[in-house]
Amino acid sequence: MLTNAQIFQFFEQLRTLIAAGITPHAALEIMQKDGSNAKILPLLTWMSDQLETGRHLSDVVRDAGVFPSYVCELLVIGEQTGNVENVCGALAQYYADEDELRDAVRSAVSYPLVMIVMMFIVIIVLVSRVMPVFAQVFAQLGTSVTGVTQMLMRLSDTLSKYNLVMIVLFAVLAVLFLYFYATERGQKQFSVFLAKFPPTRRLSEDMALTRFASGMKMTSAAGLDAFTSLDLTSRIVENENVRAKIDRCRELLLSGESFSEAIAKTGLFDKFYSGMITVFAKTGSVDRAMEFIAKQYKKETDKKISRALGAIEPTMVAVLSLIVGMILLSVILPLMGIMANIG
């Protein structure tokens, strides 16, 4: 599968060229000459060759196997209604927003993890390398220690004996981090964890609602009806609670409710946003309402992530300073007492 950034670039360039009156086949030939498309050059060449035979763009995109299924369905609608340019623009905007959202989540997750790893490394170095030096000093002075100092000395001996185990443990943690950070399957599993973990549950729902609103804006702008838009949009929402509400919306639509009524009854959005959808639905501009809602949710999500990072950094530094200070004081104070008695 292509990355969000690659899909954005593909459809943004395609939209621009089609808007200039260039056919999809000629557009792909031009895109092959763009150096920024070097990584997907084989794909562009293959797609261009397929279009040259007279095939539809939607069929070629589907057979390429590197685009999500709903992309192909949107292109089909675009070809049937003569709005391929608008569909490409909507897809480009959606994947630009999605890429920004994923980057924000990655920053929110990776920064605290790096801080925690660095904290453990500093503590382990202190306990396994620095503490033995103080232990030798106490042994040479012919004295023994008790309490916290004795516990740290024993921990130091244990870590010295199991250095290989610690290295393996850190290697496993590094592999797990890369799995959840870099692989699509790992990211999905981590999203499920965020949705179920109480401190991050609300943030997960806000991100899902951002995707939902962006998806509805994209599909509405492409000319799809509300039921079809909900069907396609539910595929890009990973949060189970939000997806259940979307499915409930579809059921209400089948029972004869309007789109705005279904949104209000399921409680997908708060009363303010539900009222906005009701007003815009009367003018046939649901996509404009969804665009505004998506932007607002994205802003709120960014604020929450920024606040979380702002709170984590000083907290981690304070905890690390406290632990390091306690370790050093636990050996320095007894040593000072011994030196004072000798003096």
Looking at mean pLDDT, say which of 186-195, 206-215, 312-321 comes out highest.
206-215
The whole-angstrom separation of Cα 46 and Cα 52 is 10
Q: Do 55 and 98 belong to one domain?
A: no
Q: Do 53 and 188 belong to one domain?
A: no
Q: For a pLDDT cut of 70, what percent of the chain falls above it?
A: 88
pLDDT number for residue 189: 77
In a domain, 86, yes or no: no
How does residue 178 score in pLDDT terms, banded at 50, 70 and 90? confident
Burial of 78 (C-beta count, 10 Å sphere; 0-12/13-18/19+): buried
pLDDT number for residue 18: 92
Burial of 21 (C-beta count, 10 Å sphere; 0-12/13-18/19+): exposed
The whole-angstrom separation of Cα 126 and Cα 309 is 27
Looking at mean pLDDT, say which of 49-53, 136-140, 199-203, 204-208 comes out highest.
49-53
How does residue 31 score in pLDDT terms, banded at 50, 70 and 90? very high
State residue 100 phi and psi, 5-degree precision. -65, -40
pLDDT number for residue 141: 67
pTM: 0.69
Decide if pLDDT at 198 tops 70. Answer: yes
What is the greatest pairwise CA distance in the chain? 96
In a domain, 189, yes or no: yes
In a domain, 79, yes or no: no
Instruction: Say which residue, 22 or 106, is predicted with more confidence.
Output: 22
Q: Do 130 and 177 belong to one domain?
A: yes
In a domain, 266, yes or no: yes
Which residues constitute the domain of residue 152?
A: 93-343
**Residue 169 CA to its chain's centroid (Å):** 26
pLDDT number for residue 13: 94
Q: Do 20 and 106 belong to one domain?
A: no
pLDDT number for residue 48: 92
Please state the domain count of the chain: 2
Q: For residue range 89-143, what is the model confidence (pLDDT) as tens digits?
A: 888 888 888 888 777 777 777 777 777 777 777 777 777 777 777 777 767 766 6
Q: Taking the chain, what is the end-to-end CA distance rounded to the nearest angstrom?
A: 73
pLDDT number for residue 143: 66
